[in-house]
Amino acid sequence: MFEEADTGQEAAMPEKLIKDPDWWRGAVIYQIYPRSFNDTNGDGIGDLNGVTERLDYIASLGVDAIWLSPFFTSPMHDFGYDVSNYEDVDPMFGTLADFDRMTRAAHERGLKVMIDLVISHTSDQHPWFKESRSSKDNAKADWFVWADAKPDGTPPNNWLSLFGGPAWEWDSRRCQFYMHNFLTSQPDLNFHNVEVQDAVLDVARFWLERGVDGFRLDTVNFYFHDADLRDNPPLSGDEAPSTVDPTNPYGFQDHIYDKTRPENLAFLERFRALLDKYPGATSVGEIGADGQAVELTASYTEAGKRIHMAYSFDLLTPQHSAPYIRRIVEEMNGGIGSGWASWALSNHDVKRVTSRWGDGKDMAKFAPLGAALCASLRGTPCLYQGEELGLTQADVPFEKLQDPYGIRFWPEYTGRDGCRTPMPWVKDNANGGFSDAEPWLPVAPEHLAKAAFEQDKDKSSVLNRNRAFFAWRQDLAPLKKGDMVFLESGGETLVFTRSHGGDTILCAFNLAEGAEAIELDGLQLENLNAPGFTGSIDGNRIRLGGLDAVFARVKS
Concatenated DSSP letters of 459-513: TTSHHHHHHHHHHHHTT-HHHHH-EEEEE---TTEEEEEEEETTEEEEEEEE-SS
pLDDT band at 466 (very low <50, low <70, confident <90, very high): very high
The yes-or-no verdict on residue 214 having pLDDT over 70 is yes
What is the average per-residue pLDDT within 84-94?
98
CB 162 within 8 A of CB 250: yes
Higher pLDDT, 468 or 242: 468
**Ramachandran region of residue 168, left (φ > 0), alpha (ψ -120 to 50) or beta?**
beta
Report the C-alpha gap between 124 and 121 in whole angstroms.
Answer: 9
Question: Is 218 a catalytic site residue?
Answer: yes
Alpha-carbon Rg for the chain, nearest whole angstrom, is 23
**Interval 300-350: pLDDT, tens:** 999 999 999 999 999 999 999 999 999 999 999 999 999 999 999 999 999
Q: Which pLDDT score is estimated for 245? A: 61
**Cβ neighbours of 429 (radius 10 Å):** 15
Q: Write the CA distances from 28 to 24, 291, 462, integer angstroms.
A: 8, 26, 17
Asked if residues 8 and 100 have their Cβ atoms less than 8 Å apart, the reply is: no
Q: Are the C-beta atoms of residues 360 and 329 closer than 8 Å to each other?
A: no
- The Cα–Cα gap between 91 and 80 comes to 12
For the chain, what is the mean pLDDT? 94
pLDDT tens digit string along 283-306?
999 999 878 999 999 999 999 999
Identify the pLDDT of residue 240: 56
Catalytic site residue 202? no
Residue 35's pLDDT is 98
pLDDT at 5 over 80: no
pLDDT band at 238 (very low <50, low <70, confident <90, very high): low
Domain 482-555 adopts which CATH fold? Immunoglobulin-like (2.60.40)
**Is residue 74 predicted with pLDDT exceeding 70?**
yes
State yes or no: pLDDT of 99 exceeds 60. Answer: yes
Burial of 505 (0-12, 13-18, 19+ CB in 10 A): buried
Question: Is residue 30 classed as helix, strand or coil in its secondary structure?
Answer: strand
Name the CATH superfamily for 15-120+194-224+259-473. Answer: Glycosidases (3.20.20.80)
- Asked if 331 contacts 325 with a C-beta cutoff of 8 angstroms, the reply is no
Q: Is the pLDDT of residue 205 over 70?
A: yes
Residue 14 has what pLDDT? 47
Determine how β-strand 65-68 pairs with β-strand 112-117: parallel
Least confident of 383-397, 406-420, 426-440: 406-420
3-state secondary structure of 66: strand
C-alpha–C-alpha distance, residues 447 and 457, integer Å: 16
**Angle between helix 264-275 and 194-209 (nearest 10):** 30
Give pLDDT, residue 237: 65
Catalytic residue among 78, 124, 218, 403: 218
Strands 214-217 and 282-286: parallel
Q: Find the catalytic residue in 98, 116, 286, 417.
A: 286
Domain spans in the chain, listed from the N-terminal domain onward: 15-120+194-224+259-473, 482-555
CB 446 within 8 A of CB 351: no
Residue 239: its pLDDT value, please? 64
Q: For residues 208-225, b (16+ Cβ closer than 10 Å) or e, as one string?
A: beeebbbbbbbbbbbbbb
- For residue 449, the SS3 value is helix
- Cis check for the bond before 34: say yes or no (omega within 30 of 0): no
DSSP 8-state code for residue 87: E
pLDDT at residue 271 is higher than 60: yes
What is the model's pLDDT at position 9? 40
Q: Is residue 463 within 8 Å of residue 388, measured between CB atoms?
A: yes
Within 10 A of 400 (CB to CB), how many other CB atoms are there? Answer: 13
The more confidently predicted of residues 521 and 478 is: 478
SS3 (DSSP) at 18: helix
| pTM greater than 0.85 | yes
Q: Tell me the C-alpha distance between 442 and 463, whole Å.
A: 22
Cβ-based neighbour number of residue 522 at 10 Å = 5
Confidence at 413, pLDDT banded by 50, 70, 90: confident
Asked if pLDDT for residue 519 goes beyond 70, the answer is yes
Give the closest residue to 209 by CA, choosing from 103, 340, 133. Answer: 103
| The pLDDT value given to residue 298 | 98
Query: With left for phi above 0 and alpha for psi between -120 and 50, is residue 229 left, alpha or beta?
Result: left
As a whole number of angstroms, the distance between CA 45 and CA 20 comes to 36
pLDDT of 1 > 50? The answer is no
Tens-digit pLDDT profile for residues 8-62: 444 444 444 557 899 999 999 999 999 999 999 999 999 999 999 999 999 999 9
Beta partners for 29? 65, 382
E strands along 342-455, which residues? 342-344, 380-384
Give pLDDT tens digits for 138-148: 999 999 999 99
Average pLDDT for 197-224: 98
Confidence at residue 532, expressed as pLDDT on a 0 to 100 scale: 96
Mean pLDDT on 113-137: 98
Chain centre distance of CA 412: 24
Q: What was the pLDDT predicted at 6?
A: 46
Range name among 46-50, 198-202, 288-292, 513-517 with the lowest pLDDT average: 288-292
pLDDT of 275 over the 60 cut: yes
